Amino acid sequence: MWTAPAIPSVGPVIVLDGLTKRYGEKAAVADLTLEIEPGRVTGFLGPNGAGKSTTMRLITGLDAPTSGSALIGGRPYAALRHPLREVGALLEARSAHPGRTARSHLLGIARSDGIPARRVDAVLELVGLTSVARKRVGSFSLGMRQRLGIAAALLGDPGVLLLDEPVNGLDPDGVRWIRELIRSLAAEGRTVLLSSHLMSEMQDTADHLVVIGRGRLIADAPIGEVLGGSSRNAVLVRSPKASELRERLTHAGMTVESPGEGEILVTGGSLDDIGELAFRHGVPLYELSARRATLEQAYMELTAASVEYGEREAK
């Protein structure tokens, strides 16, 4: 009976310590120190060229770090006894030879670690490629290649998953499918590191966020904290006495903008504070609602500095 070995499910599973990768003068990843915990989806965000893919390549040993280390369960990737059963990775869509069929691509990988052929058929079924299992990868669309890459990552039923832009090329059904798959994998106690440039997707999928810019760590926090820390969290108030309320709120130390006639947007105060203040001054309210920052807004604020720097340097 074949079973996947368990990776300890308490404490950090992936530990990056001072991880640095330089190409000549330019650092793709600079002194990245990070712990990735099991049982949740860690979203990995950053502008293009921030070093997300390089970090994942360093974790799996495809590239060697200039300094620092990346350990999985305390060991470097190359020292894992059964790498496929411990770590599943989807790093690029182009990782299967176009001349091979989907099934033979997976079968070869499976045989490298004694994973039975029925597991190949099971993952093909799981990703919805059973009907094209014997077709050549060269004839596949980008979405189908992504599914094949996900199948390869899941082949060894690993406790750790590294997924670089897995929704690339997937249709809306595919996007929803992978979101649910990723959520369920994390719910089973697995460690999932997911990079995506689709903010709304990340907001729906990740529990924890790691944001990097220009190879450096910008944020490492639960998603709620990242969203809560945004200055774009505000309260929308509609009132026939908007201008009077505006004065009172400003007086109470809140920041107020007027996006439209009879409407004000308040930051620096809670729904309760504003509601009570309006009541005390007899200001009628037609609407009092929270405007939460989207991940995109929070992310733009976080990375503004690093993107700006990048642009300035490019000039």
Q: Which one, 109 or 132, has the nearer CB to another protein? A: 109
User: How many angstroms separate the CA atoms of 16 and 23, rounded?
Assistant: 19
Give the per-residue contact string, 141-160, with another protein (x = CB under 8 A; - = no): -----------x--------
For 27, the token pair is: 């650092």
113 touching another protein, by CB under 8 A: yes
Closest approach of another protein to the CB of residue 120, in Å: 11
User: How many angstroms separate the CA atoms of 287 and 215, rounded?
Assistant: 44
User: How many angstroms separate the CA atoms of 176 and 153, rounded?
Assistant: 18
Closest approach of another protein to the CB of residue 301, in Å: 34
Contacting residue, 33, 69, 112, 258, with another protein by CB under 8 A: 112
314 touching another protein, by CB under 8 A: no
Q: Which one, 114 or 228, has the nearer CB to another protein? A: 114
The burial class, CB within 10 Å (0-12 / 13-18 / 19+), for 9 is middle
98 touching another protein, by CB under 8 A: yes
Contacting residue, 1, 10, 78, 314, with another protein by CB under 8 A: 78
Q: Which one, 61 or 310, has the nearer CB to another protein? A: 61
The DSSP line for the chain is ---PPPPP-SS-SEEEEEEEEEETTEEEEEEEEEEE-TTSEEEEE--TTSSHHHHHHHHTTSS--SEEEEEETTB-GGG-SSHHHHEEEE--S--S-TTSBHHHHHHHHHHTTT--HHHHHHHHHHTT-GGGTTSBGGG--HHHHHHHHHHHHHTT--SEEEEESTTTT--HHHHHHHHHHHHHHHHTT-EEEEE-S-HHHHHHH-SEEEEEETTEEEEEEEHHHHHHT-TT-EEEEE-TTHHHHHHHHHHTT-EEEEEETTEEEEESS-HHHHHHHHHHTT---SEEEEEPPPHHHHHHHHHHHHHHHHHHHH-
Contacting residue, 15, 55, 77, 124, with another protein by CB under 8 A: 77
27 touching another protein, by CB under 8 A: no
22 touching another protein, by CB under 8 A: no
Number of residues interacting with another protein: please give it, by CB under 8 A.
Answer: 33
Give the per-residue contact string, 42-61, with another protein (x = CB under 8 A; - = no): ---------------x--xx
- Name residues contacting another protein, limited to 174-213 (CB under 8 A): none
80 touching another protein, by CB under 8 A: yes
107 touching another protein, by CB under 8 A: yes
Phi, psi (rounded to 5 degrees) for 290: -80, 135
Among the candidate windows 108-116, 177-185, 228-236, 287-295, which touches another protein by CB under 8 A? 108-116
Closest approach of another protein to the CB of residue 61, in Å: 5
Among the candidate windows 95-103, 184-192, 209-217, 297-305, which touches another protein by CB under 8 A? 95-103
Give the position of tokens 């709620």: 224
Among the candidate windows 89-97, 169-177, 192-200, 296-304, which touches another protein by CB under 8 A? 89-97
95 touching another protein, by CB under 8 A: yes
Residues lying near another protein in the complex (CB under 8 A): 57, 60-64, 77-78, 80, 83-84, 87, 89, 91-92, 94-101, 104-105, 107-109, 111-114, 152
